[in-house]
Amino acid sequence: MKGKKFVGFGEMLLRMSPEGYLRFAQANKFDLSYSGAEGNMAVALSYMGMESELVTRLPENDIGMCAKRVLDHYGVRTGHIAFGGERLGVYYLEKGASQRPSKVIYDRKHSAFSESRPGDYDWDEIFEDAGWFHFTGITAALSPTVREVCSEACAAAKRHGVTVSCDLNYRKTLWSEQEAQSVMRPLMESVDVLFANEEDIEKSLGLRAADSDVVSGKLSVAGYSALMGRLAGEFGFKAVAVSLRESLSASDNNWSALLYSGGEVYESKKYRIHIVDRVGGGDSFASGMIYAMLNDYAPQDAVEFAVAASCLKHSIEYDFNLSTPEEVLALARGDGSGRISR
């Protein structure tokens, strides 16, 4: 690994949410923020003191520039953003509570980023001082041309000796299981570190953990441990990190994770979390793991750090995990009281 700069490739989105826990039908105004899986990770890592960059495509208008300024504000490098197209993608979020689930509606067709094409980005220059490249299944789902850019970026990352990671992030509103598997399985040939949750592996790669049921919340550690070893064997991953969410309700979850590394499986402690905002929870887990790996944490310490980072994100409004390494380490080491820090 040459350096420690993180590079993410993905779409920035405008998030529109009714206030509090109002339903769409009740809303007469929406709260506005900016989001996007890889952007969430770039912000989180920058906030933790790491060098990070987001490679994306934005419309050359006021909204596109606002999205860029948000990244600039958090110290994310934006020097390789392409400009073009007509619109920024949007998603609408209705936050769930108790037994009512959250709801997401995407409005991102024909967005500036989804029209990205091979040759739009100078990957050799981008990876010149990079140590880590990350993309997600969401990015690959957006259009055939973006999938080509993902392949182009992965090939360039490999030429430059850059570690490649992918979060499968399956979204049924963006593509079918069959389409996802036809695209994601070939892309896995370039991936060193895989991130996924309980559902993603089945939907995106066609493999399922034994004795587990996402809907009922039944999760088998033994089943996932065996599956992670199988994934590493089939695709050659150096590490596989799986977040495990036991959904008690929309408001309360149990949260833990497993890390497969060096032929061994490491299990984190389990947190009972009361959710303020769950969007970006998986991104904060992946960014926490990448922070730990770039800083040479031992595998057990890495999975504990990643889960603690994600646990804290669930207490933070909007999509970015604005937690410092010190805050994450305090929780990972056992201080989960929530008492005022004076």
Instruction: Give residue-wise pLDDT tens across range 154-168.
Output: 999 999 999 999 999
pLDDT digits (tens, 9 = 90+) for 61-78: 999 999 999 999 999 999
Of 97, 105, 90, which is closest to residue 20 (Cα–Cα)?
97
pLDDT digits (tens, 9 = 90+) for 225-279: 999 999 999 999 999 999 999 889 999 999 999 999 999 999 999 999 999 999 9
**DSSP bridge partners of 218:** 213
Pairing of strands 13-18, 30-35: antiparallel
Q: What are phi and psi of 84, to 5 degrees?
A: 165, 175
The dihedral sign for the CA sequence 314, 254, 310, 193: negative
Percent of the chain with pLDDT over 90: 90
What pTM was estimated for this model as a whole? 0.94
**DSSP bridge partners of 130:** 5
Max Cα–Cα distance, the chain, nearest Å: 53
Separation between Cα atoms, residue 85 and residue 107, nearest integer Å: 15
Superfamily of domain 5-332: Ribokinase (3.40.1190.20)
3-state SS, residue 192: coil
Tokens representing 65? 């520039």
Tokens representing 1? 């690994």
CB 193 within 8 A of CB 34: no
The dihedral sign for the CA sequence 309, 10, 70, 122: positive
Separation between Cα atoms, residue 81 and residue 39, nearest integer Å: 12
> How confident is the model at residue 1, as a pLDDT?
43
Helices (H), the chain: 37-47, 62-73, 123-126, 137-141, 144-159, 177-187, 200-205, 221-235, 281-294, 299-313, 325-332
**Average pLDDT estimate for 84-101:** 96
Of 224, 216, 221, 222, which is closest to residue 200 (Cα–Cα)?
224
